Structure 1
Amino acid sequence: MRLLLMSDTHLPKRAKVLPDPLLAEIPHADVVFHAGDWVDTETLDLLEARCRRLVGVYGNNDGPDLRARLPEVAYAELAGVRFGVIHETGAAQGREQRCAARFPGLDVLVFGHSHIPWDTTAPTGLRLLNPGSPTDRRRQPHCTYMTATVADGLLTDVELHRLPPRALR
């Protein structure tokens, strides 16, 4: 099962539309995760229309319309792997221990907010993934998103994809 992970799209504030390379990944994904800060409902509508399955949450920049349609925390079990999605996890220091204590039943936690790609594993085995942002790199060298594969209770092939600057419109 192929996964596509994104967060912090901030449309149309940071870019006008999602980058073409990211949109091209959607038909190949069995499940798309979005870890919040959509900002506009049009992006949610687009992903709901194009994705086979969407697992998303609202972020701190999302208004009442998005909060009415999305949870603060979402859960999904895929091919024997237990996923959680949340926007904010707090400061980087102590993140693994804090998230492992808050989400003891998960195998993978997808999060956003910082726009900083993150891939670590807590001592408990909880894998923490932040795909960065495909539209707002902030102080990062590139805009990013992630893909991964899940099968037979294992998450594999986690890959961070860097978007070329010309991909943003």
Structure 2
Amino acid sequence: MRLVITADTHVPKRARDLPEPLWAAVDAADVVLHAGDWVDEALLDALAARARRLVGVYGNNDGPALRARLPEVARVELDGLRVAVVHETGPKAGRESRCAARFPDADVLVFGHSHIPWDTLAPGGPRLLNPGSPTDRRAQPYATYLTARVAAGRLDEVELHRLPPRRPSGH
């Protein structure tokens, strides 16, 4: 099972659309996980139309329309792997222990908010994955998203994808 993991897309605030490499990955994926900050319902509709299966949550920049359609926390089992998705996990300091306490039944926790790629294992708790942002890299050197594979309850082949810089609009 192929996964695409993304968050903090901020369309159309930070970009008019998702980068083409991310759309290509969505087309090839079995499941797309989105950890919030969509900003516009049109992106949710577009991803839902293209993804074989979409699991998403709302973020702090998502208004009432998105919050009415998406949960704050999503939980899904993918080929025996227990996955939780949430937008915000709080400050970097203490994140692993907080997440292990909040999501003791998850094997993997996907989160967003910081726009900073993250891949750690919480002691006694879930693997924590943040894909960064494909449209708003902030202080990061690249805009990013993640892909991974799930088989027989195991997550492997987790890969951080760097996206090429966006071309300036208007010319």
Query: Same fold by TM (over 0.5)?
Result: yes
SS in 1 for 2:109: strand
Unaligned runs of 5+ in 1: none
1:95 aligns with 2:87: no
Alpha-carbon distance in 1 for matches of 2:24, 2:148: 15
Residue 101 and residue 168 in structure 1: after superposition, are their counterparts in 2 closer, same or farther (change >3 A)? farther
Give the aligned residue type for 2:2: R
- Contact 1:148-1:156 within 8 A present in 2 as well: yes
**In structure 2, how many angstroms separate the alpha carbons of the residues matched to 1:134 and 1:154?**
25
SS at match of 2:46: helix
Matched letter for residue 84 of structure 2: G
Matched, 1:134 2:134: yes
State the Cα RMSD in Å. Answer: 1.1
User: Which residue pairs with 2:5 in the alignment?
Assistant: 5
Q: Percent identity?
A: 71
Distance in 2 separating the partners of 1:47 and 1:61: 18
TM-score normalised according to structure 1 size:
0.98
Alignment length (residue pairs):
169
Alpha-carbon displacement from aligned partner over 1:136-164 (angstroms, at most 9, x marks no partner) = 00000000000000001110000000001
Instruction: Give the ranges of 4+ consecutive aligned residues of structure 1 lying more than 3 Å apart after TM superposition.
Output: 166-169
Counterpart in the other structure of 2:157: 157
Structure 2 unaligned regions, length at least 5: none
- Residue 67 (structure 1) aligns with: 67
Q: Does the CA contact (< 8 Å) of 2:104 and 2:125 recur in 1?
A: no
Q: Is the contact between residue 19 and residue 167 of structure 1 (CA under 8 Å) also seen in structure 2?
A: no
Cα distance in 1 for residues equivalent to 2:24 and 2:138: 23
Give the TM-score taking structure 2 as reference length: 0.97
